[in-house]
Amino acid sequence: MSLRIDHVTIAGSHLASLEQAFVDVGLKPVYGGPHSNGITHMDLLSFADGSYIEMISTLEAGQTSPLWHVHIAGDGGPCAWAVAADDVAAEAARLAALGVRVAGPTYLNRRRPDGVLVEWDLAFLGDREPGATLPFLIKDRTPRAWRVPPSTQVAEAGLKGVTMAVLGVERLDRSVDLFRRVYGWPAPQIDEDADLSARLAHFPGTPVALAAALTESGWLAERLVQFGESPCAFLLGAADMGTAARRFPLAASGSWFSRRVMWFDPARLNGIRLGLVAEGL
């Protein structure tokens, strides 16, 4: 079963700080407006393939968010990922029949700064925060272009879209079994990344990589203690890695599953792990 990333979510205690960090590395988001919960609001950075990065925070500092509060209050960065569903109710029913806990479908909306009301349906999967391990499901009620206005900036820079959600998990074997059971995928490829202090599992042809801590004291182990299982990094597809390296301030590079990966400096992105990967992973 194939999955298509609709968007990924990055949380912070101040939306303006998140926005400025992305602007400083050459990625300018646009303000998307407040959500219908009356507590959170967002920026977004959209890509040519229709996917986007959502930056989320509370409207007022110190508010308790109904979603991803620990990540928002603790400047946790990556917190969730969502996939597009042609029929949210049908996919939710399929997953419930497999024993996955499902909440929804639920209607939500967001009022853009220009007054346009954007509407969609969601379903949340699993026992943790939405999109912590399994993705949450989303389907537009209003035209998709209302929710995801195109950005010419990232297209000109050769960034194609959100290629991969890297999910921090406590046990690699258990999480591999979950994804294979739910989506019928074959066994993943295995790799390691010393910079993330992670053992990686990637399901070929999918936008999913799992990351488990290699040591008890590394970056990923400490993140799992603070924020629990949740996305720990995101990768954007790049048409040409050489062009991207000249265009953006990328601080480190490596290889994942025989593909070149380059990372923005987390120190310049509020600690967020965001990278570029050569197309094809």
138-193 pLDDT per residue, tens: 999 999 999 998 776 676 677 889 999 999 999 999 999 999 999 999 999 999 99
Q: How many Å apart are CA 41 and CA 269, to the nearest integer? A: 19
Distances (CA, A) of 162 to 56, 74, 123: 17, 24, 21
Rounded to 5 degrees, φ, ψ at 50 are: 95, -15
Give the pairing type, strands 208-213 and 198-202: antiparallel
Find all residues with CB under 8 Å of 217, minimum gap 6, and list them. Answer: none
Residue 117 has pLDDT above 90, yes or no: yes
Percent of the chain with pLDDT over 90: 80
Residue 57 has pLDDT above 70, yes or no: yes
Find all residues with CB under 8 Å of 163, minimum gap 6, and list them. Answer: 5, 207, 235, 236, 237, 277, 279, 281
The pLDDT assigned to 177 comes to: 97
Does one domain contain both 132 and 180? Answer: no
When pLDDT is cut at 50, 70 and 90, the band that residue 206 belongs to is: very high
Q: How many Å apart are CA 76 and CA 88, to the nearest integer? A: 28
Q: Hey, CA dihedral for 216, 219, 225, 229, is it positive or negative? A: negative
Could you count the other beta carbons within 10 Å of the beta carbon of residue 135? Answer: 28
Does one domain contain both 112 and 195? Answer: no
Does one domain contain both 142 and 20? Answer: yes
Q: Is 64 exposed, middle or buried (0-12, 13-18, 19+ CB in 10 A)?
A: exposed
Does one domain contain both 164 and 270? Answer: yes
Residue 5 has pLDDT above 80, yes or no: yes
Find all residues with CB under 8 Å of 5, minimum gap 6, and list them. Answer: 51, 81, 82, 83, 84, 135, 161, 162, 163, 165, 207
Does one domain contain both 113 and 243? Answer: no
pTM (2 d.p.): 0.94
Residue 56 has pLDDT above 60, yes or no: yes
Does one domain contain both 259 and 212? Answer: yes
Choose one of 147, 175, 197: the last residue of a domain: 147
The 10s digit of each residue's pLDDT in 65-92 is 999 999 999 999 999 999 999 999 999 9
Q: How many Å apart are CA 179 and CA 171, to the nearest integer? A: 13
Q: What is the largest CA-CA distance in the chain?
A: 49
Residue 1 has pLDDT above 80, yes or no: no
The pLDDT assigned to 260 comes to: 87
Percent of the chain with pLDDT over 70: 98
Does one domain contain both 53 and 92? Answer: yes
Does one domain contain both 17 and 136? Answer: yes
Higher pLDDT, 210 or 279: 210
When pLDDT is cut at 50, 70 and 90, the band that residue 63 belongs to is: very high
The pLDDT assigned to 228 comes to: 96
The pLDDT assigned to 102 comes to: 97
Structural domain range at position 186: 155-278
Distances (CA, A) of 208 to 89, 162, 211, 235: 23, 11, 10, 10
The pLDDT assigned to 6 comes to: 97
Residue 281 has pLDDT above 60, yes or no: no
Does one domain contain both 135 and 23? Answer: yes
The pLDDT assigned to 280 comes to: 58
The 10s digit of each residue's pLDDT in 13-55 is 999 999 999 999 999 999 999 999 999 999 999 998 889 999 9
The pLDDT assigned to 226 comes to: 96
The pLDDT assigned to 155 comes to: 65
Q: The domain spanning residue 272 has which CATH number?
A: 3.10.180.10
| Beta strand ranges found along 97-188 (DSSP E) | 102-111, 117-125, 136-140, 159-169
Choose one of 84, 113, 147: the last residue of a domain: 147
Q: What's the mean pLDDT when you consider all of the chain?
A: 93
Choose one of 114, 147, 180: the last residue of a domain: 147
Does one domain contain both 138 and 190? Answer: no
Number of domains within the chain? 2
Give the pairing type, strands 230-238 and 274-278: parallel
Does one domain contain both 159 and 270? Answer: yes
Does one domain contain both 161 and 82? Answer: no
Higher pLDDT, 20 or 246: 20
